[in-house]
Homo-oligomer: A and B are copies of this chain.
Amino acid sequence: MTSEFHIYNTLSRKKEIFEPLNPPFVGLYACGPTVYGDAHLGHARQAITFDVLFRTLMHLEYKVRYVRNITDVGHLVDDADDGEDKILKKARLESLEPMEVVQYYMNRYHENMASLNVLPPSIEPRASGHIIEQQELIAKIIEAGYAYEVNGSVYFDVARYNKDHSYGILSGRKVEDLISNTRSLDGQSEKRDPLDFSLWKKADPSHIMRWSSQWGEGYPGWHLECSAMSTKYLGMQFDIHGGGLDLLFPHHECEIAQNVAGYGKPSVKYWMHNNMITINGKKMGRSLGNFITLDQFFSGEHEMLEGRYSAMTIRFFILQAHYRSTLDFSNEALRASQKGLEKLLKAMALLDTIKPLENSSISVKSLHNKCEEALRDDMNTPILIAHLFDGVKIIRALSEAKESITASDLDLLKSLYRTMVYDVLGISPSNAPEAENNLTGDLVEMILQLRKDAKANKDYNTADQIRNRLTQLGLNLKDHKEGTDWEIN
């Protein structure tokens, strides 16, 4: 077993040993949501991926400052930079103050994240709360000669930057290819070149979200906030920047260019990207209109859903794929994840019933090492979960006294499952599909005992009544030799 943590760095296109700049401290930045609509499965995947990274780094005993932003202004509709501000568009439709829309969806996002047991980041900065910092960065970029002002707006000069540095270093794209793929500008555009992107946009008179600046009233371009806020809270250089693969280009590419142009050097050592959720093979996304929101998953209210899925089922489903693979939505796959999670949690409950013996016939250490190895191999959660399922067989064999375990090995085994399932994978048993509070479980067990007693007394009438009433209350009973299993529908 290796004690090194390997992560895939998009920048080098290979797995690297993770070596933080200032151990034991780790600076982690991940792109958060644009709060103009409800979060869907794709948002859950991104949040859960970097939540598990946050948890893994803490498990590896690093002291992590995790910054995840809220984009509440400046995200333009399309990359042409001439589109309406997405948030403003929604606000106009609903006749609301934009910040009221932002607050509404931000609150809902936080509720969704809490349901998914995604830990709150150490700092959650909002773009609208860091206008001065963004203006300062723009001024630095202009001063360095990599941006120009036109009529109250400021644009990043990609061609000029690319002469001195490398635009495309992250995405592997070449400026020449990008240019030939871009339609030519019409006469109206202020940009010198179609590849240029906005750092500051002049606000037209109807634009509500606006701030004063040395270039006049306006608002920052979308790419800018992450450069300004990551630097403010994590320093000029920090360890890891994460985000969805859809953000790699142009968002993260532009972020690197902004940092190099404004601060003289790139800030990020490791870039990590999670892959997309697909639905019938196509990317799930707001702009594509083919998304299912998290609330719809939880309530089951969407034509493509064959039932409701608990937040922990969603989380487990996401973790059963490696974060760099695409993950295709299907009801079958979700039901399989639900069953898998129930199986895992039931096995964990069995752990408390196992009686230790003099010798261990199984190797806990080996299981432990395999789990750690999978985790440290670029967070290979599907392999980690496969090992945990191998362990389920061992736990069952121990519970049926087909294998034996010593008291200290049993402690290790319990600790391994608690650590991996609860702390690292972030499964919260209280949010899990079959879990209810302990009192309910105790009451059901008590009733099942009364039914057993009734049967023993040949009072089959009472025993049947009990079964019928429990069924009415939504409990499924399954009798077998050792007793009765039950679950809540």
Contacts and interface: CB of A to CB of B under 8 A. Distances in A.
A132 B131 contact: yes
A74 interface: no
A290 interface: no
A108 to B, nearest CB: 10
A129 B129 contact: yes
A225 to B, nearest CB: 12
A130 to B, nearest CB: 8
Counting contact residues on chain A (CB < 8 A from B), the size range is 35 or more
Interface string A454-484: 0000000010001001100110000000000
B123 A473 contact: no
A473 B442 contact: yes
B131 A128 contact: no
A212 B359 CA distance: 68
Interface stretch (A96-104, A151-159, A295-303, A384-392): A96-104
B447 A453 contact: no
A251 interface: no
A123 B107 contact: no
B443 A233 contact: no
A99 B120 contact: no
Interface string A62-83: 0001000000000000000000
Contact of A450 (B100, B129, B136, B466): B466
A437 interface: yes
Contacts of A436: 437, 439
Nearest to A106: B124
A400 to B, nearest CB: 28
Contact of A132 (B122, B212, B447): B212
A460 to B, nearest CB: 14
Interface in A294-342: none
Nearest to A439: B440
Interface of A: 65, 97, 99-100, 103-104, 107, 110, 120-126, 128-132, 136, 211-212, 233, 436-437, 439-440, 442-444, 446-447, 450, 453, 462, 466, 469-470, 473-474, 488
21 contacts: A97-B123, A99-B125, A99-B233, A103-B120, A103-B121, A103-B122, A103-B123, A104-B122, A126-B129, A128-B129, A129-B130, A131-B131, A132-B212, A436-B437, A437-B440, A439-B440, A443-B444, A446-B473, A450-B462, A450-B466, A453-B462
